[in-house]
Amino acid sequence: MPIIVNLDVMMAKRKMSLNELSEKVGLTLANLSILKTGKAKAIRFSTLEAICQALDCQPGDILEYTDE
């Protein structure tokens, strides 16, 4: 897939665990795990906004486009 999810990179930079992010964003661990591993087919803007707010980052820090 040409869209790469760098959620794990941002979480490492902010020293935040999946559990902590789950609590701050209000998503289940299972849903965050699917997103983190790049298996998600879509993401809601409200979810992306909440993640960016919790990690103090921009959407481009989490999502990356690559030309395969």
pLDDT value, residue 45 = 96
pLDDT value, residue 7 = 95
pLDDT(64) > 90: yes
pLDDT value, residue 68 = 76
User: Minimal CA–CA distance to 34: which of 45, 23, 25, 43?
Assistant: 43
Q: Which CATH number is 30's domain given? A: 1.10.260.40
Structural domain total, the chain: 1
Q: How far apart are CA 30 and CA 55, in angstroms?
A: 19
pLDDT in tens, 3-62: 999 999 999 999 999 999 999 999 999 999 999 998 999 999 999 999 999 999 999 999
Instruction: Give the DSSP letter string of 7-67.
Output: HHHHHHHTT--HHHHHHHHT--HHHHHHHHTT--S---HHHHHHHHHHHT--HHHHEEE--
Tell me the residue range of the domain where 22 lies. Answer: 3-65
